[in-house]
Amino acid sequence: MTKYIVVAAVEILVYAFFIFFLSVESAWILVATLVLIAGLVLARRFMPNRTQIVVDAFKSSRAFVLGLGAVLLLLFPIVASVVLRQGTYWMLVLIQTMIYLMVALGLNFQLGSTGMMNLATAAFYGVGAYAAGMLSLRLGLPAILTLPAAGVIAAAFGLILSVPIYKTKGHYLALVTLAFGYMIVLALDNTAFTGGAQGLMNIPEIRIFGYSFIRPLAGMHFYANYFYLATILLAATVAVFYRLQNSWVGLSLTTIRDDEIAAKCSGVNTAVWKLGAFATGNFFMGVAGALYAHMIGFISPPNFQFIESLVIVSIVILGGMDNLLGITLGAVILVLLPEKMRVITEYRVLIYGVLIVAMLIFRPRGLLPFKPREYHRSLLNRLRGGSK
Amino acid sequence: MSGKKTLFYSTDLEIHFGGLYALQKINIDILENEILGLIGPNGSGKTTFFNVITGIYKPTAGDITYKGESLLGKEPYQISRMGISRTYQSSRLCLELSLLDNVLIGMHNRQKQGYFSAIFSRRKMIAEVADFQDRVVELLDVFNPDLKERMFRPVGELPQIDRRRVEVCRAMAAEPTIILLDEPSAGMTPDETRELMEDIRKVRASMSDVSIMIIEHDMSVISSVSERVIAINFGEEIARGTYEEVAGTPAVREAYLGKEVVHE
Ligand SMILES: Nc1ncnc2c1ncn2[C@@H]1O[C@H](COP(=O)(O)OP(=O)(O)OP(=O)(O)O)[C@@H](O)[C@H]1O
Ligand SMILES: [Mg+2]
């Protein structure tokens, strides 16, 4: 029982601090937050026994942790509308963070789980955005179809790179994807069919069963509709990747990542698995792009340039390869925090560069590194019990 | 030779890297259920032979026949599915994965659940994982029960000797027809080597009809485990027969002179 109280107390405190953090105008709040986090890290390091209670509480009540987290997240549009002066703006920032997180999770499946570097994530995300835009503008398809179609089209675009994906290793694939990303943006820029440099305008908003997403939701800004949709899509993405990771799929992919020859000689058809992983990752990037296109209503080639891919890669490297929670943390730090300090945005690229280099030197495996797979808690306990 | 059937044979197998002939006119056969030792000084082509069998290198000439079928043009994963598994001279484990996972990947060919059930039918997937984990535990019970306590540890945290054991386990978990062991005892003390060989023997006894081809520099291992020995040098066969016969061949003594002491 106490564990639920501990979890609830911690989550609500963090949530309250987060809202407070967003409401404070001064950039000093960033410094205060850093000090607070440093304090928590030190507390964990020097008082391992006392802090263990909290850690155990979180570990032993996973469903409750996630459930309460979901409730708090779902309450955000309401809280933001009521408490925050710039509630709408922060709602948009949070949606943006979730969209980036979806793309980063897609990349993580390719890079973190399988070891395939993809420097064209923004371009594939753009393919999804354009696909959704064109399908709804030209063919009048409803969003319920454009979202999955955008995913499939982004996956298909990834498969154009089939040969380099299963033939090349490491850095070569990085270069090939880098070039491919440039080509896509260049093509979008110069093709009249996709609106050229002007891009696509007036992309229809999402409508689901006649419900239009530009209608204010219970007095809140219409972004609240998109906030909830983004939350659902993100939850689905996390669920899919969590399940894939904790299954034979994850095992085959990490074996390919760590030693491709060993994987092959164990019977893994590496070409097929790598293509599958690449397509799967791209699918979610495409869906994220479609969501963005419908929400903003206007897309143009500069939205999908290499620099955005760099942000996505930074999220994965900072957060931790093949660690879903770590990547979530990475997205919050790299997408949400900079909005707090507008000064940062001008030096964004520089700061990301420095950050990646620093991470690679001091913590090459990310904030939350990869942990050996458990598949399922029940299995762990069964074997532990059995082996005694 | 006794009445055992030939399981595998190579005919005039040849591979060269540029001007270097790593294998020339190699005709090696493996019988059902036998242990064949492959010896030769450094750089004589032993590992290359394994790499050709498993499809990592494509031979320049010659053929390989296994269970009546040619292995030429087959991908490594297809060859693995046909029942040939191996270990490597320098370890090829996934250091970040648990010991359990490293052995589980060896059972890849028997997995029935895949992408679809991973996402949409988690219960089926987890049931199969549970089933396979039990089989790994059974395998470890026979092979080396001490490893069970380290099942959940990343392999990278284990001492070198355990890693070599895990690699052998991974190859055995595939329940292959032929296992290729490339210097399984490299870096081990004589005692550790003896223990490993004992472990391998135990598992072998529990499996039916598995042939082993073993590369070893430690002649005491070769002499104690292999029923037949083939020696190669500069990519060519120089002797074959029982260990004593091979060790007594002048060409073999010459090849090893100043490199390895041949036990008599
Ligand atoms: N991929 C390759 N490219 C070029 N040369 C190679 C390649 N693989 C092996 N060789 C060469 O082929 C020869 C045989 O090498 P191999 O590794 O098969 O020897 P080995 O008998 O296993 O030796 P050791 O006892 O040292 O392991 C060596 O001269 C080696 O340099
Ligand atoms: Mg060798």
Which pair of structure tokens corresponds to residue A117?
């570097």
Helices A223-245 and A324-331 cross at an angle (nearest 10°) of 150
C-alpha distance from A372 to closest chain B C-alpha (Å)? 5
Kind plus residue range of the DSSP H or E element containing B25: strand B20-26
B185 vs B222: CA distance, rounded Å: 11
The two structure tokens encoding residue B62: 């010659």
Measured between CB atoms, does B122 come within 8 Å of chain A?
A: yes
B110 occurs within a structural domain: yes
Compute, in angstroms, the gap from residue B36 CA to the centroid of ligand 1.
Answer: 20
Structure-token match 């090829």, residue found: B92
Nearest to A271 by CA among A66, A116, A79: A116
User: A–B: how many Cβ contacts below 8 A?
Assistant: 126
Q: How far is CA B105 from CA A252, B88, B97, B108, in A?
A: 7, 15, 10, 5
Among chain A residues, the shortest Cα distance to B131 is held by A379
Within 10-69 of B, beta carbons closer than 8 Å to A belong to 54-56
Report which secondary-structure segment, H or E, holds B155: none
Q: Is the CB of B44 under 6 A from ligand 1?
A: yes
Mutate to test the pocket of ligand 1, among B13, B16, B20, B28 (most ligand atoms within 8 A of CB): B20
* B201 interfacial to chain A (CB closer than 8 Å): no
Classify residue B120: in a domain, yes or no.
yes
Structure tokens, A258: 């760590």
Is B102:B86 a contact under the CB 8 Å cutoff?
Answer: no
Closest residue CA from atom 17 of ligand 1: B47
CB-based contact B129 A248, cutoff 8 Å: yes
Q: Which residue has the tokens 């064949």?
A: B36
Helix A324-331 with A87-108: angle, nearest 10 deg: 140
Burial letters B161-196, b for 16+ CB under 10 A, else e: bbbbbbbbbbbbbbbbbbbbbbbbbbebeeeebbbb
**Sign of the CA dihedral A322, A323, A328, A330?**
negative
The residue range of the domain holding B61 is 6-257
Ligand 1 lined by B89 (C-beta under 6 Å): yes
Question: CA B213 to CA B105: how far, in whole Å?
Answer: 22
Q: How far apart are CA B180 and CA B11, in angstroms?
A: 18
Cβ burial, residue A73 (10 Å; 0-12/13-18/19+): middle
Give mean pLDDT, residues B140-158.
Answer: 90
Closest residue of chain B to A252, computed from CA coordinates: B105
- For the four alpha carbons of A186, A188, A193 and A198, in that order, the dihedral sign comes to negative
pLDDT in tens for each of the 388 residues of chain A? 788 899 999 999 999 999 998 888 777 888 888 899 889 889 988 888 888 888 888 888 888 999 999 999 999 999 988 888 888 899 999 999 999 999 999 999 999 999 999 999 999 999 999 999 999 999 989 888 999 999 999 999 999 988 888 877 678 889 999 999 999 999 999 988 888 888 898 899 888 888 888 888 777 788 889 999 999 999 999 999 999 999 999 999 999 999 999 999 999 999 999 999 999 999 999 999 999 999 999 999 999 999 899 999 999 999 999 999 999 999 998 888 888 776 666 777 787 788 888 888 888 888 888 888 888 887 877 777 654 3
Asked if A383 and A255 count as a contact pair (C-beta separation under 8 A), the reply is: no
pLDDT: which is higher, B260 or A132: A132
Q: Is B15 in the pocket of ligand 1 (CB under 6 A)?
A: no
CB A188 within 8 A of CB A131: no
Cα distance between the two ends of chain B: 23
Q: Look at residue B264 and tell me if it is in a domain.
A: no
Instruction: Please write the tens of the pLDDT for every residue from B175-213.
Output: 999 999 999 888 888 888 888 888 888 888 888 789 999
Q: Strand B35-39 and strand B228-233: pairing?
A: parallel
B255 Cβ below 6 A of ligand 1: no
Residues in chain B within 8 Å Cβ distance of A376: 126, 129
**The pLDDT value given to residue A339:** 80
Distances (CA, A) of A305 to A106, A202, A282: 17, 21, 16
pLDDT at A223: 87
Please answer yes or no on whether B105 and A255 come within 8 Å at the CB atom.
yes
Of B23, B46, B58, which is best to mutate to test ligand 1, by the most ligand atoms within 8 angstroms of its C-beta?
B46
pLDDT tens digits along B205-254? 888 789 999 999 888 888 888 899 999 999 999 989 999 999 888 888 88
Which of the four pLDDT bands, split at 50, 70 and 90, describes residue B257? low
Does the C-beta of B42 come closer than 6 Å to ligand 1?
yes
* CATH number for the domain that contains residue B12: 3.40.50.300
Name the pTM for this structure: 0.92
Q: Report d(CA B161, CA B197) in Å as an integer.
A: 13
* Residue numbers in A near B113 (CB within 8 A): 247-248
- Give the dihedral of Cα atoms B9, B14, B15, B18; nearest 10 deg: 180
B72-98: average pLDDT: 94
Domain total in chain B: 1
Q: Whose CA is nearest to atom 30 of ligand 1?
A: B43
For residue B177 and ligand 1, the question of a CB distance below 6 A is answered with no
Q: Flag whether pLDDT at B88 surpasses 50.
A: yes
pLDDT for A387: 45
How far are the Cα atoms of A117, A271, A376, B167 from residue B73, in angstroms, in the given order? 29, 16, 40, 26
Interface contact A263-B105, CB threshold 8 A: yes
Say if the Cβ atoms of B56 and A248 lie within 8 Å: no
pLDDT at site A388: 38
Contact status, residue A283 vs residue A151, Cβ threshold 8 Å:
yes
pLDDT higher than 90, residue B124: yes
Is the Cβ pair B113, A248 closer than 8 Å? Answer: yes
Q: Are strands B84-86 and B178-182 parallel, antiparallel or unpaired?
A: parallel
Residue among A145, A182, A157 nearest A278 (CA): A157
Q: Considering only residues 85 to 114 of chain B, which have any Cβ-Cβ distance to chain A shorter than 8 Å?
A: 85-86, 88, 92-98, 100-101, 104-106, 108-109, 111, 113-114
Q: Does B56 sit within 8 Å of A264, measured CB to CB?
A: yes
Q: What is the CATH number of domain A85-342+376-383?
A: 1.10.3470
Q: What is the pLDDT of residue A385?
A: 62
CB atoms < 10 A from the CB of A353, how many? 13
